[in-house]
Amino acid sequence: MVRIQVRLTLLFIVIVTLVLGISGSYTQYTLSKELESGSTRLRTGVLTRLQTSLPSALWDLDKSKVDSIVSAEMLPPELVGIRVYDASVGLFAGEMRDANGVLAPLNNDAALQGTAIEAPLVFRDAVAAASGGTPVIVGKVVVNFSRAQIDAALRSEVRRKVIEVLLLDVILVAALGLSLRIIFGPLRQLRDGLFDLATRGSDEVEELPESRRDELGDVIRGFNAVQRKLKSIIERIRHAEDAARRSQQETAQAMMDLRRTQESLLQSERLASLGSLVAGVAHEINTPVGIALTSASVLKEATDDISTAVAAGNIRKTDIVRYLETANESSRLIMNNAYRAAQLIHSFKQIAVDQVSEARRAFELRSYIAEVMDSLQPTLKKTRSEVVIDCPAGIEFDSYPGALAQVLTNLVLNCVEHAFDADTAGTIHIGVRCEANAKANAKAEWIIMQVRDNGRGIAPDMLDRVFDPFVTTRRGQGGTGLGLNIVFNLIAKQFGGTITVSSTLGQGATFLLRLPRVTPLAHSKGDGHGDRTQ
């Protein structure tokens, strides 16, 4: 972690270095321009003077004069060498500056450094010029100029600026170190106090000394005030946490009581449906049993009559024929009604055992749905509703038949109670199909069951809440609002499936169930009484 003091120091160093660098670059640029301008003026002046003074001396072949002119012009250190060439003779005179800066005569083989500038030497005779004669080129002069002085001056300026930047940076670091220590010392105290306040108990942290009488002293006093306020808040929070903890325990206990109450209500609802099933089946069995009892009574009476006639010895053929007809009819009625009663008792026994035991077994779905609907016939006969079963034969369902019976019972009775008026005819369609799993070699893994009615439908504002507990449109008319909640929990928790509902007002409602053909083991222990989760 880079401290603020270091970052501020680095920031000021960068800013000062940048400003001085820009200033030095501008100074360097200005100095370079000035030196280049002076060098240009020097070159121009030297060439101009040489072109003025050398032509007459070269015309007269006065070597001593040429040498003196060249020596005079070689005084500036920027000049490396001057060579004077005669038009007919060639190199006439010249001087050069060696590496030590000493002037020496120039020969033809000398190699001169620097930039060479050549200029013609033109002789203008005064008499010829007056008569309109043409100027004569008597030779040329070659001057070698060096940039060493310019480069040395620029390098010196760069060194001076670098030393200046370094000195200013050192001074700035020292000044900032002393200045920031005044600020960051109290800030470190504040930091340590905040760290202690965050990691230790508020009662263990002491207040900072308030002896300073400047802005930082005001900050320290503010910190101490905040610390005192924080201690007060922490104390109130502790009391609130204790109260919240007690409230949480009370809420948890209330939630447990509520769950037990809900489970009790759900169990009561299931037992109520079983009781209704018992009452209905008892009513249905009463008719065939009564007919069988009456037929048996008639048969016994006819048997007594024929026995009396046989004992008296006055039996006739017509008596025997009449007895046989009575016995035949009575036997037929007894057999038919006894079979009907046995069938009802078998269906009731299977449905009742399934609902009470909640045992898991494999069963054929179509016949089981038919048995459940047979057990509901006492209730359905009182209405004008008709149940249509559309289920292919041979679908094996490995699950909980009792839970399925309760699901079908609640869905059908829900349609009877809510979808149709008492004098309105309606149809409840139970459709079943298998859905193959693409990853299981097209094997049927899911059972899709649809319970559809053509009744009044469900209002849109109720559609999202039909599976919530205690939601009913028949409050005060016998409706508890638990039927569809039981269905939802059984489908989700005991079967491991899903159920959805769709409806359009005036066109009925459709409940779509999607159940695994073999209930997963993860759901084998589900009790089906949990809350609905959205």
pLDDT at 61: 84
Assess whether pLDDT exceeds 80 at residue 404: yes
Inter-residue contact 449 to 411 (CB < 8 Å): no
Q: Could you give the C-alpha distances from 220 to 183, 193, 199, 225, in angstroms and in order? A: 12, 10, 19, 9
- Position with higher pLDDT, 6 vs 277: 6
pLDDT at 446: 92
According to CATH, what is the number of the domain 358-534? 3.30.565.10
pLDDT at 1: 43
pLDDT at 476: 46
Number of DSSP helices (H) and strands (E) in the chain, helices first:
11, 12
Band the pLDDT of 481: cuts 50, 70, 90: low
Indicate the SS3 state at residue 366. helix
pLDDT at 272: 59
Question: Which of 211, 212, 214, 219 lies closest to 193 in space, CA to CA?
Answer: 219
Band the pLDDT of 473: cuts 50, 70, 90: low
Side-chain half-sphere exposure of 113, counting CA atoms within 13 A:
10
pLDDT at 497: 92
Amino acid code (one letter) for 362: A
Return the domain boundaries, the chain: 4-156, 358-534
CA pair distance 270, 265, nearest whole angstrom? 9
Question: Beta strands 90-97 and 103-105: pairing type?
Answer: antiparallel
CA pair distance 113, 123, nearest whole angstrom? 29
Band the pLDDT of 474: cuts 50, 70, 90: low
Amino acid code (one letter) for 490: L
pLDDT at 131: 47
Assess whether pLDDT exceeds 60 at residue 17: yes
pLDDT at 534: 32
Least trusted range by pLDDT, from 31-45, 414-428, 519-533: 519-533
CA pair distance 71, 51, nearest whole angstrom? 15
For residue range 428-449, what is the model confidence (pLDDT) as tens digits? Answer: 999 999 987 655 444 568 999 9
Which DSSP string do the residues of 108-159 spell out, in sequence order?
TTPPPPSEEEEEEEEE--HHHHHTTPPPEEEEEEEEEE--HHHHHHHHHHHH
Give the mean pLDDT of 320-340. 80
pLDDT at 430: 95
pLDDT at 418: 84
Q: Which of 161-175, 319-333, 458-472, 508-522 has the highest mean pLDDT?
A: 508-522
Angle subtended at Cα 303 by Cα 299 and Cα 305, rounded to the nearest 5 degrees: 120
Q: Which helix (H) or strand (E) holds 266?
A: helix 215-312
Q: What is the dihedral of CA 308, 311, 312, 318, to 10 degrees?
A: 60
pLDDT at 277: 55
Give the mean pLDDT of 186-195. 71
Burial bucket for residue 352 (CB in 10 Å: 0-12, 13-18, 19+): middle
Question: Which of 143, 140, 144 lies closest to 86 in space, CA to CA?
Answer: 140
User: 4-156 sits in which CATH class?
Assistant: alpha beta
For residue range 40-81, what is the model confidence (pLDDT) as tens digits? Answer: 888 889 889 888 888 888 888 888 888 888 888 888 888 888
Inter-residue contact 456 to 506 (CB < 8 Å): yes
